[in-house]
A and B are shown apart, each in its own frame.
Chain A
Amino acid sequence: MGHTLTEKIIAAHLVQGEENVASSAEVWPGDLVEVAVDIVLANDITAPIAIREFETLGVERVFDRDRVVMVADHFAPNKDIKSAEQCLAMRQFARAQGLRHHFDVGRMGIEHVLLPEQGLVAPGDIVVGADSHTCTYGALGAFATGMGSTDIAVAMATGCVWLCVPETIRVVYHGRLRPWVGGKDLILYTIGHIGVSGALYKAIEFAGPVIDDLSMAGRFTMANMAIEAGGKAGLFAVDDRTLAYVDGRVSRPYHVYQADTDATYAQLIEIDVSQIEPQVALPHLPENVCPASQAGEVQIDQVVIGSCTNGRLEDLRVAAELLRGRRVHPDVRCIVIPGSQQVYLEALREGLIEAFIEAGAVVSTPTCGPCLGGHMGVLAAGERAVSTTNRNFRGRMGHPESEVYLAGPAVAAASAVAGHIASPEEVQQCN
């Protein structure tokens, strides 16, 4: 019997020794194993706690100063004194430890946009992060998952974590994508189909001809939201597109793993994309999905285009295509947040930033900001936002009585122009 991609990657990272049940080079779902990790990640919210736990370990040094990554993105540039102190604690630790990859204001980006862009994650890696969207790196054919503070403290000290090998659900997409449909629409549709606990504890492997043709940005978006279906990880097989992406970015050696053709999957889901329209997830769960054209007359107050889900250059291009030459509706605040300094710069060079500002949108330095109701666009009671982020839980973007509608950049930009939830076609036809 063969193995899934997840099982192959985990097996290759087993810590040798009597600790592991699976002392052979094979692992199966349900095995509890100890593995060596390639990258350990924390941010300005989670690092201070992990650092405290690290210190109680009595360890002097992190296991490898090239492999512990810290990013100030959630409340940075600091929004208040408390967040300034959190960033300071992280900065002091990073300096004391000589961490090579500590990203502060001016060089930072949203962690899950930044790490792949900077070549810090490679195919075949195991990445653990004190952030639930660490699963984003599955787009590179890595096994990446979010964990708690104790786990991350120990991973920083030892370079190892313990894991239960998950079962894998394989989702296969075929058919022809309709105009304006991208990775966000595919993953929203999928979560609508299987539910927010449809992949609980499991890894999801995304596959099929549609995925073969999907951009890396689209794959990052899909892997990012595996957690919104309860998944432990969301992975893509490595192909030429992946290799072209990592070429010139990743400077260390890595290994490409492939699922066996006779691998065992817990579930096989086939999705024909031909009928999928641009999607929107209604409040307050990512599974409340419907086509944007059928959302009804939903007036909105704010649009957010950015985040670790859709803050990449490709996303901004899609938004600019709809905003260029049009105006943001007078009743709407449209906030565009490039996912990293590099995305920002490229968007500037391509003229996207100009198009946003001319349309009446604001453009911010990279930050998580409004995605978690932190700053830069917090909602008041009764306000509604269309957002390209990943969670629309009650109160996620501000007041508990505000509402978040999740969508891809096309629907978000179209809605910004229309003043209500709109499909891109609707806005195009208005010309």
Chain B
Amino acid sequence: MQLTGRVWKYGDNVDTDVIIPARYLNVSTPEELARHCMEGIDPDFASAVQRGDIIVAGENFGCGSSREHAPLAIKESGIACVVAKSFARIFYRNAINIGLPILACAQAVEETEKGDQLTVDLRAGTITNLRTGRTYQTPPFPAFVMGIIQAGGLIPYTRERMANDQ
């Protein structure tokens, strides 16, 4: 599973409130959520983001509330993958459960700038910066996490698996 996309770069502690401000939590369709994605930190994001783009951020990405709205908004906005130095625990779970690929790699974050093109190979766990030519290795996902991501989330993954078992 290879993805190539343009980088949106942010700092540390991007919390769920800036990803999707609480005043929009009364809407729950992914399309509506996506319209306000990252509004608390970058009001231009939602209108300028393109399908396949990649978010690159610092430590503790997704901290705060346990709601699944935050990764849903990011996924629906077209973001193909989030690369951060580290992720908040519940965001990490929720992202994988809804099928949003995420990778933790501090060095790649430090050496990447807004607008760079990155190629991410989820299966191999590699991130390549096309501007600098540098490649970074992260521990690859175990097979079942890869399966969840490929299926588009935990619910479709489980549905497929249960169908195969029968």
| Contact, CB under 8 Å: A154 / B154 | yes
The number of A-B residue pairs with CB atoms under 8 Å apart is 58
Contact B145–A154 (Cβ < 8 Å): no
27 contacts between A and B (CB under 8 A): A19-B142, A19-B147, A21-B142, A32-B142, A33-B142, A34-B144, A56-B155, A57-B162, A58-B162, A59-B162, A147-B93, A148-B66, A148-B93, A148-B97, A149-B68, A150-B94, A150-B153, A150-B155, A151-B93, A151-B97, A154-B155, A154-B158, A157-B158, A157-B162, A162-B96, A164-B89, A200-B89
Q: Tell me the minimal C-beta distance from A69 to chain B in angstroms.
A: 20
Task: Name which residue of chain A comes closest to B142, CB basis.
Answer: A21
Distance in angstroms between the alpha carbons of A222 and B131 in the assembled complex: 52
Q: How large is the interface on B (under 10, 10 to 19, 20 to 34, 35 or more residues)?
A: 20 to 34
Q: Is A242 an interface residue (CB 8 A)?
A: no
B155 surroundings in chain A (CB, below 8 A):
53, 56-57, 150, 153-154
Q: Which residues of A are at the interface with B, using a C-beta cutoff of 8 A?
A: 18-21, 32-34, 53, 56-59, 147-151, 153-154, 157-158, 162, 164, 200-201, 232
The reply to whether A58 and B159 form a contact with Cβ atoms under 8 Å apart is: yes
Evaluate whether A32 and B68 lie within 8 angstroms (CB atoms) in the complex, with A19-B147, A57-B158 already known. no
Given known contacts A148-B97, A151-B97, A32 and B145 CB-to-CB distance under 8 angstroms: yes
B3 adjacent to chain A (CB < 8 Å): no
Closest CB-CB distance, A153 to chain B, in whole Å? 7
Which residues of the other chain, B, contact A232 by a CB distance below 8 angstroms? 89
B62-121 residues at the A interface, CB under 8 angstroms: 66, 68, 89-90, 92-94, 96-98
Of the residues A18, A153, A200, A201, contact of B143 by C-beta under 8 Å: A18
Residue of A with least CB distance to B145 = A32
- Does B10 lie at the interface of the complex (its beta carbon under 8 Å from any beta carbon of A)? no
Q: A19-B142, A148-B66, A154-B154 are in contact. List 8 more A-B contacts (CB 8 A).
A: A32-B141, A148-B68, A148-B93, A149-B68, A150-B94, A150-B155, A153-B155, A157-B158
